[in-house]
Amino acid sequence: MNEKIGFAAGEIWNILREKDELSVSKLKSELKKKSFSDLETSMALGWLLRENKINFKETKSGARKSQNVSLK
pLDDT per residue as tens digits for the range 11-36 = 999 999 999 999 999 999 999 999 99
Residue 1 predicted with pLDDT over 80: no
What are the chain's domains?
2-71 (1.10.10.10)
- 71 φ, ψ (degrees, to nearest 5): -75, 155
Calpha distance 53→37 (Å, rounded): 21
The predicted pLDDT at position 57 comes to 93
pLDDT per residue as tens digits for the range 35-65 = 999 999 999 999 999 999 999 999 888 888 8
Calpha distance 52→55 (Å, rounded): 8
